[in-house]
Amino acid sequence: MKLCFNLDRSVLAKCFSGETRQRLRRLVDLDPRVPECGGLTPDWLGDVARDCDGIICGWGSLPLDEHVLSAAPRLQIALHSGGTIRNIATPAMWRRGLRVTSAANVNGVPVAEYCLGMVLMCFRDVFGQQHRFHANGRKAWKPPEIRSYLGSTVGIIGMGNAGKHLLKLLDHFQMRVLIHSFYPFDAPAGVEQVGIDELIRRSDAVVMLAPNLPEFRHMMDHRRFGLMRDGSFFINAARGALVDETALIAELESGRISACLDITDPEPPVEGSPLYRLPNCILTPHIAGSNGSECLRLGEQVVRELERYLAGHPFENEITEEMLQVIG
């Protein structure tokens, strides 16, 4: 079996260690050709994939469209080292019957860990304390009464890869957990599944991990932000389009809630946006997903999926055309 890369050199170096590439070469005939950044073109890819049975994709990969597929008649599988496959998915790919796997299950791990960190720091008022030190210096050294997380309620909107992992992480803490899933999901004992509005009303921290689908655009609007408890926190590590930013800013300016935003819409916020200056808004520049050495997990997941395929086992995280209707 022969595989090639639909990646440029920078992504290959970030996600595939030398050891991971050696493991690939032991499993298959691996075409080592990878272009420099900016050198990935449909003609280049069609030529490389011409006699390949599988293709390894990831961040910045070209779509597997009719042009590429017609030049590569043997392609059977696409192993995606990124999260969502929307950058490579085309109708031609599904017509060909290509089997596709994604490393989204692995990429969801750091997203969940980011959200947990934000939840714990919010309940400890870490960000509020830092703001008071910046404003008042030594005079702010007066430990206040804080809520803490013990007995607090966390609501998770979305039971995708990150939501499921966050649910496991929260099991180590004495918090009540509410969830809303957009597809059938068997919640573990002690976890309550509720509607979105009820989740928002009852939660001290609302974590947005919903899929980025057109019908969910601005699902967090004026009405839903109005349902949040006074003093509660909104954490978004999904997509900015899920949030009506005007509505969020209005609530933040009232001082009634706080927010931790890893993504916005647009990204970054427009020049002069109140999100840059509001003391109850924590901004991070889209860092919740895999970064640094965490990216190497993505390449390792590709190897594991290839091993499963060669052994005749089901993929761990296969993506079908139907699934694209409910995942981001």
Instruction: Please give the Cα distance from 196 to 204 (Å, whole number).
Output: 14
- State the catalytic residue, choosing from 286, 297, 304, 308: 286
DSSP string, 220-273: B-HHHHHHSPTT-EEEE-S-GGGB-HHHHHHHHHHTS-EEEES--SSSSPPTT-
**Of 96, 239, 251, 300, catalytic:** 239
Decide if 134 is catalytic: no
- The answer to whether 286 is a known catalytic residue is yes
Name the amino acid, one letter, at 86. R
Q: How far is CA 299 from CA 47, 59, 102, 242, 290, in A?
A: 23, 12, 11, 29, 12
Q: Taking the CA atoms of 257, 259, 265 and 268 in sequence, report the sign of the dihedral they define.
A: positive
Tell me, rounded to whole angstroms, the distance of Cα 287 from its chain centroid: 10
Q: Which of 267, 307, 313, 321 is catalytic?
A: 267
For this structure, is 239 an active site residue? yes
Could you give the CA distance from residue 126 to residue 121 in angstroms, rounded to a whole number?
5
215 CA to centre of own chain:
18
> Catalytic residues, which ones?
239, 267, 286
